[in-house]
Amino acid sequence: MQEKTRERLNSVMELTRKSLHIAFIPLIIYLGYTNSVPRPSLFRLISPLAG
Protein backbone atom coordinates (compact mmCIF):
# COMPACT_ATOMS: atom_id res chain seq x y z
CA MET A 1 0.00 0.00 0.00
CA GLN A 2 1.34 3.42 -0.88
CA GLU A 3 2.15 5.90 1.85
CA LYS A 4 -0.33 8.49 0.57
CA THR A 5 -3.13 5.93 0.52
CA ARG A 6 -2.27 4.82 4.04
CA GLU A 7 -2.33 8.42 5.31
CA ARG A 8 -5.70 9.05 3.68
CA LEU A 9 -7.13 5.85 5.15
CA ASN A 10 -5.86 6.81 8.61
CA SER A 11 -7.44 10.26 8.35
CA VAL A 12 -10.77 8.77 7.25
CA MET A 13 -10.70 6.29 10.12
CA GLU A 14 -9.90 9.07 12.62
CA LEU A 15 -12.77 11.20 11.30
CA THR A 16 -15.13 8.22 11.50
CA ARG A 17 -14.06 7.47 15.07
CA LYS A 18 -14.58 11.09 16.16
CA SER A 19 -18.00 11.33 14.51
CA LEU A 20 -19.14 8.11 16.19
CA HIS A 21 -17.97 9.36 19.58
CA ILE A 22 -19.83 12.65 19.13
CA ALA A 23 -23.05 11.16 17.72
CA PHE A 24 -23.48 8.13 20.00
CA ILE A 25 -25.16 9.75 23.03
CA PRO A 26 -27.57 11.94 20.99
CA LEU A 27 -28.54 8.84 19.00
CA ILE A 28 -29.34 6.90 22.17
CA ILE A 29 -31.39 9.83 23.54
CA TYR A 30 -33.27 10.14 20.24
CA LEU A 31 -34.06 6.42 20.10
CA GLY A 32 -35.26 6.44 23.69
CA TYR A 33 -37.41 9.51 23.04
CA THR A 34 -39.07 8.16 19.91
CA ASN A 35 -39.72 4.65 21.26
CA SER A 36 -41.12 5.53 24.69
CA VAL A 37 -44.80 5.40 25.56
CA PRO A 38 -46.07 7.88 26.71
CA ARG A 39 -43.67 10.21 24.98
CA PRO A 40 -42.22 12.77 27.44
CA SER A 41 -42.06 16.45 26.58
CA LEU A 42 -38.79 17.63 25.16
CA PHE A 43 -38.30 20.04 28.11
CA ARG A 44 -38.71 17.21 30.59
CA LEU A 45 -36.24 15.10 28.66
CA ILE A 46 -33.54 17.77 28.56
CA SER A 47 -33.96 19.57 31.90
CA PRO A 48 -32.47 17.80 34.93
CA LEU A 49 -34.73 19.76 37.32
CA ALA A 50 -38.05 18.96 35.62
CA GLY A 51 -39.90 16.51 37.77
Give the global pTM.
0.56
* Span 3-14, pLDDT tens digits: 999 999 999 999
Does residue 46 surpass a pLDDT of 90? no
Distant-in-sequence, close-in-space partners of 42: CB < 8 Å, separation ≥ 6: 33
Q: How does residue 23 score in pLDDT terms, banded at 50, 70 and 90? A: very high
* pLDDT tens-digit map of 30-45: 888 888 888 877 777 7
Asked if pLDDT for residue 29 goes beyond 90, the answer is no
Rounded Cα–Cα distance for residues 25 and 21 (Å): 8
